[in-house]
Amino acid sequence: MASYTTVSDADSQISQPDALTYWESVPATVNSMLGGYPQISHIDIRGSLNFVKKLCHLHSSSATNQFTRGVDCGAGIGRITAGLLSKVCDIVDVVEPVEKFAKEVHEASLAGKGKIGEVYVTGLQDWEPKEEYDLIWNQWCLGHLTDTDLVKYLRKCRGMVKEEGWIIVKENMSTDAEGKDVFDKVDSSVTRTDTKFREIFEKSGLVILKTELQSGFPKKLYPVRFYALRPGSDQ
Ligand code: SAH
C-alpha cells in the first residue's frame, strides 16, 4: 500500500483525530499493538529487560533493577506493563488515549509483583502527571505527537523523573534514503530519524546516557532504537 510519504515537515501531517479513529477501529490485541507482528513481542520484552539491567548496572548507585514507580506511556492494552514494567516496578501507572485499550490493562496478567496504579485515559500531549517516576517508558507511540508537542511532552517528563530515574524512548527509526522523517497515513504517525530524535532531546533539555539498537527483529521491519535519557545539568 502506498501509504508512506516523506516531506521535510512530515509531522505537520499528523492528525490526532485520525490517529484515534484508526486505533478505535482495530481490536484490542497484541497483534494490533505490533502492526501484525505479534511474534516479536517476546523478543522486544526480553531486549527491554536486558537494556534496563544494563542501565542499572552502569548508572545506578544501588545496582538493583527494581524501581518504586514507573509509567507506561501510550500503553495500548498494557503489553509492556504486563511483560516488563510489572517486573521491575512496584507500581505502574498507565497513559493511553483509547479507552477500550486502557480498560484491558486491568485484565492483563502481570508477569511480576508490581501493581497497576493510576490509569490516565488521555494523549501524552494533554497528560497532567501527579507523581514523580523512576522509569518513564515511551514505546511506539511518540510518532503520534508533532515535533513541537514532543518537545513539550519531554520537557514535562524532565520535570517528573526522579533523580537516578530514567526516561526511556524506544521507537522505530526512519531509513529514508534522504534522511527524512516518514509520515504513515494509516495511523497518522511519523517515523523519525535518529538525527531528529537527538535534536528533539537536546531541545527538551535531556541527555542520552545510553543508546542501542534492539536486536533480533525481522529485517523487513524498521530498525528500533532505545535511548536512555536524563535531565541535562545545564538547563
Ligand atoms: N506502547 C504499546 C502500544 C503501541 S500501539 C506497545 O508497545 O505495546 C500505539 C499506541 O499509541 C496505541 O495504543 C494508541 O492508542 C496510542 N496513541 C495514539 N495517540 C497517542 C497519543 N497522542 N498519546 C499517547 N498514546 C497515543
- Dist. CA 98 → ligand 1 center (Å): 8
pLDDT at 1 over 60: no
CA dihedral 38, 42, 45, 46 (to 10 degrees): -160
Backbone angles phi, psi at 75, to 5 degrees: -75, -15
Q: Is the CB of 168 under 6 A from ligand 1?
A: no
pLDDT for 5 = 59
Among protein residues, the one whose CA lies closest to atom 12 of ligand 1: 76
pLDDT for 62 = 62
Q: Is the CB of 23 under 6 A from ligand 1?
A: yes
pTM: 0.95
Min mean pLDDT across 2-6, 31-35, 156-160 is at 2-6
Whose cell is 507523581? That residue is 131
pLDDT tens digit sequence for 80-108: 999 999 999 999 999 999 999 999 999 98
